[in-house]
Amino acid sequence: MKPDLYAHPFSSYCQKALTALYENHTDFEYRLLDHNDPETLADFEALWPIKRFPILVDGKHTVMEASIIIEYLGLHYPGPVKLVPDDPQMAIEVRMLDRFFDNYVSTPQQKIVFNAIRSEADRDPYGEKEARNMLERAYAWLDRHMEGRLWASGDAFSLADCGAGPFLFYADWTHAIDPAFKHVHAYRRRLLARPSFARAVDEARPFRKFFPLGAPDRD
């Protein structure tokens, strides 16, 4: 048996899980969440009524949240790339950086996008300003952190980089990374060149027209 991944290719959190799967060439069944496939949507909702994706279904186990999916894959479908190190201290750093990208890059980025989707009467200018300020602080911290580093936790590609790829990808579309943050830009370019993440990006290209802020003609 192989696990089922319920996901959509344009979702940043789905791309995070997909990067891990592609990184280790893990065999899985892609259950595409599409309004033209009500049966798959119904299965997904029955499994996870919160309706946030991705989820991984492996036999009797339903695993929610991209970070946990990647940890689960490392336990049950290990491959040549160990995305969470065996060394406990190194693993703590990887998980800490994973939370950084989730909470301080992805969360404010999505807040800006969701605000754009709302009707003009319901928009929250103050909340959007706060989100943009958070992204600026996150970019500045990350630029210092990435100086002299290849990947988020050092020389090895990890769980943290699986999230950094899609989150920085969309964050730069949403609130452009200042050219002065040269280490962030270099890191983002390395992520886009990584075959596992590049594949996830390519699979999402047909959906770029749906980006509410307008997808730039690049990447």
What is d(CA 71, CA 84) in angstroms, rounded to the nearest whole number?
7
Judged by DSSP in three states, 123 sits in coil
Hey, which residues does 31 pair with through a beta bridge? 6
Cβ 165 vs Cβ 194: under 8 Å: yes
- Evaluated on CA atoms 51, 56, 57, 63, the torsion sign reads negative
- The two beta strands, 4-7 and 55-58, are antiparallel
Written as one letter, the residue type at 136 is E
> To which residue do tokens 């339903």 refer?
62
Ordered DSSP codes for 34-94: -TT-HHHHHHHHHH-TT--S-EEEETTEEEESHHHHHHHHHHHS--SS-SS-SSHHHHHHH
Distance between CA 89 and CA 135 in Å, rounded? 27
Summarised one tens digit per residue, pLDDT across range 151-162 is 999 999 999 999
pLDDT at 215: 97
- Tens digits of per-residue pLDDT, 51-92? 999 999 999 999 999 999 999 999 999 999 999 999 999 999
SS3 of residue 152 by DSSP: coil
3-state secondary structure of 82: coil
Mean pLDDT of the chain: 98
Give yes or no for residue 180 having a pLDDT over 90. Answer: yes
Average pLDDT, integer, range 83-109: 98
Q: Where does the pLDDT of residue 1 fall: very low under 50, low under 70, confident under 90, or very high at 90 and above?
A: confident
Question: Would you state the torsion angle of the CA atoms of residues 149, 153, 155, 159, taken in this order, to the nearest 10 degrees?
Answer: -130
In one letter, which amino acid is 140? A
H-helix or E-strand containing 63?
A: strand 61-64
8 Å CB contact between 167 and 12: yes
Rg over alpha carbons for the chain, rounded to the nearest Å, is 17
Q: Which pLDDT score is estimated for 203? A: 98
- C-alpha angle 39/12/93, rounded to 5°? 125
